[in-house]
Amino acid sequence: MSGRFITLEGMDGAGKSSHIAALAHWLRQQDVEVVLTREPGGTPLAEALRELFLHREMDALSEALLVFAARRDHLCKVIEPALARGAVVVCDRFTDATFAYQGAGRGFDLTQLQQLEHWVQQGRQPDLTLWFDLPASVAAQRRAAARDADRLERETEAFFERVSTGYAARCVAAPQRFARIDADQPREAVWQQVEAALAARPWW
Domains defined along the chain, listed by start: 4-199 (3.40.50.300)
Query: In this predicted structure, what is the pLDDT of residue 150?
Result: 62
Phi-psi region of 129 (alpha: psi -120 to 50; beta: other; left: phi over 0): beta
pTM for the full model?
0.93
> Which of 113, 104, 128, 101 is closest to 40 using CA atoms?
101
* 52, pLDDT greater than 90: yes
Compute the distance between CA of residue 155 and CA of residue 82 in angstroms, rounded to an integer.
35
Task: Report, in angstroms and rounded to the nearest whole number, the Rg of the chain calculated over CA atoms.
Answer: 16
User: Which residue blocks in the chain are alpha helix, DSSP H?
Assistant: 20-28, 44-55, 60-74, 80-84, 95-98, 110-121, 136-146, 157-173, 187-199
> For a pLDDT cut of 90, what percent of the chain falls above it?
78
What's the confidence (pLDDT) of residue 146? 59
Q: What is the pLDDT of residues 53-105, one digit of tens each?
A: 999 999 999 999 999 999 999 999 999 999 999 999 999 999 999 999 999 99
Q: Do the beta carbons of residue 50 and residue 74 sit within 8 Å? A: no
| Average pLDDT score, the chain | 92
